[in-house]
Amino acid sequence: MALNSVSALVLDGVTVFEFGVICEVFGIDRTGDGVPPIDFKVCGPEAGKALRTSVGAQLAPDHGLDGLIGADVVALPAVAGPPEDYPAEALDALRAAHAAGATVLTVCSGVFIAGAAGLLDGRRCTTHWMHADELARRFPTAIVDRNVLFVDDGDLVTSAGTAAGIDASLHLVRREMGSAVTNIIARRMVVPPQRDGGQRQYIDQPIPARCSEGFAPQLDWILANLGAPHTVASLAKRAGMSSRTFARRFVEETGTTPMQWVTDQRVHYARRMLEETDLDVDRIAERVGFGNATLLRHHFRRLVGVTPSDYRRRFARAAS
């Protein structure tokens, strides 16, 4: 897939922030900074006809539904209102664009539009945690992942709530244009260029937002010492708890077990080193705490979906 053209589909009740995310990543001319040009269109059921937004303002798209056809990406911002209210002609146009080869990108509850068009059947996807149960109920054949920032399922990229649309959008840029272009856009937006990962990944947030103030230092210390050997017993001793109490608290705070969390963080760290350094895989495995390249490759492929070497070939930036 190329990323030469992006068409945003706006419907009545479009949410302003989610639409703004799409505009910010794809709609601003940054050719002066070295970003390749993107033909960006805002499309609605009728060109020039004002639509209400979720905050009381109005928005009039310059293009009609024919602007979706031929786009490399069709982006769907969230819309306030039930799927029953989506115009049938908009869903038809979305299906036609996807059938013609467009990748569909959804932000937050914009995934319901894709579902109403029949694009979620048997596909992995996500949405804001508040809407995940409803998404699964309405589209029972969809495979809804509630615990991720976004899901890349090839020609369908879906994001979780609100700001996760930034992660998904930058991921798509990175997948198709590379890290250098993504870094330029992210720097202008003053956001991290990557909270995400490579293709077809389902990425948990590295530090759970709900982690309590009292427990956060335990996670910070582990992150600062990933290269050291860790066991539940050793971590519990450092935290001044019994192993059983520590393991229970850890699951409550992070949603996963201590050693699974440590493994996930080691893989996240390895990804960054593969992108940003020219260290060989054996050295990276030692630094992140896996000890040997075989173990790193095992966990990396399980979590990321590709080998460390393949990941580096696709996503490496200039070595520091």
Q: Which residue(s) pair with 156 in the sheet?
A: 104
Establish if 307 belongs to a structural domain.
yes
- Show the DSSP H helices in the chain as ranges: 16-22, 88-99, 111-116, 132-138, 164-177, 179-189, 216-224, 232-239, 243-254, 258-276, 281-288, 293-304, 308-315
Give the domain range for residue 257: 206-320
pLDDT at 211: 63
Establish if 195 belongs to a structural domain.
no
Q: Are 185 and 174 in contact (CB under 8 A)?
A: no
Establish if 73 belongs to a structural domain.
yes
My answer on whether 48 and 134 are in the same domain is yes
My answer on whether 117 and 166 are in the same domain is yes
Residue of 289, 308, 104, 279 whose CA lies nearest to 197? 308
My answer on whether 220 and 158 are in the same domain is no
Q: CATH number of the domain that 316 lies in?
A: 1.10.10.60
Establish if 200 belongs to a structural domain.
no
pLDDT tens, residue by residue, 263-299: 989 998 898 899 888 999 999 999 999 999 999 999 9
My answer on whether 83 and 143 are in the same domain is yes
Last residue of a domain, one of 135, 161, 189: 189
Q: Are 184 and 30 in contact (CB under 8 A)?
A: yes
My answer on whether 226 and 269 are in the same domain is yes
My answer on whether 288 and 248 are in the same domain is yes
Please state the separation of Cα 125 from the chain's center in Å.
10
pLDDT tens, residue by residue, 39-79: 999 999 999 999 999 998 999 999 999 999 999 999 999 99
User: Considering only 201-205, 223-227, 289-293, 299-303, which range has the smallest mean pLDDT?
Assistant: 201-205
My answer on whether 58 and 161 are in the same domain is yes
Confidence band, pLDDT 50/70/90 cuts, at residue 205: very low
Q: How many CB atoms lie within 10 A of CB 289?
A: 21
pLDDT at 195: 56
My answer on whether 175 and 68 are in the same domain is yes
Last residue of a domain, one of 189, 218, 239: 189
User: Would the pLDDT of 105 be above 80?
Assistant: yes
Helix (H, G, I), strand (E, B) or coil at 159: strand
Structure tokens at 137: 């109920």
My answer on whether 169 and 273 are in the same domain is no
Please state the separation of Cα 318 from the chain's center in Å.
23
308-315 vs 258-276: helix axis angle to the nearest 10? 50
Please report where in the chains the tokens 């979906």 appear, as a residue. Answer: 305
Residue with more model confidence, 246 or 204: 246
My answer on whether 227 and 153 are in the same domain is no
pLDDT at 130: 86
pLDDT tens, residue by residue, 121-170: 999 999 988 898 899 999 999 999 887 889 999 999 999 888 889 999 99
- Show the DSSP H helices in 23-151 as ranges: 88-99, 111-116, 132-138
